[in-house]
Amino acid sequence: MLFGLRFRTGALVTFFGGRESSAAREILGSPPELLASDMEAAVAMALMGERFNSEGYLSHGYEIHAPSFLGSGFTKRPGTGMAVSFNGADNIFVGMDDHEFVKPVSRDARSASRATEDAGRRILDLLAGDLAAFASEMKNLKVDVRFREFPDRAR
Give Cα 134 distance to the centre of its chain: 17
Q: Which of 89, 82, 87 is CA-nearest to residue 72? A: 87
Report pLDDT for 125. 94
Could you report the per-residue pLDDT of 48-105, keeping only the tens digit for each? Answer: 998 998 787 777 777 889 999 998 999 998 777 788 999 888 888 888 888 898 888 7
Confidence at 20, pLDDT banded by 50, 70, 90: low
Q: Which of 153, 112, 100, 124 is CA-nearest to residue 45? A: 124
DSSP H or E segment with residue 72:
none
What ranges do the domains of the chain cover? 60-106
> Are 15 and 144 in contact, with CB atoms under 8 Å apart?
no
Q: Residue 80 gets which letter from DSSP?
A: -
Confidence at 109, pLDDT banded by 50, 70, 90: low
Q: Please tell me the distance from the alpha carbon of residue 145 to that of residue 92, in angstroms, as a whole number.
A: 29
Could you report the per-residue pLDDT of 21-35, keeping only the tens digit for each? Answer: 778 889 998 887 778
140 pLDDT exceeds 70? yes
Could you report the per-residue pLDDT of 115-132, keeping only the tens digit for each? Answer: 899 999 999 999 899 889
Q: What is the mean pLDDT of residues 3-23?
A: 75
Report pLDDT for 30. 85
Report pLDDT for 85. 92
Give Cα 139 distance to the centre of its chain: 24
Report pLDDT for 142. 87
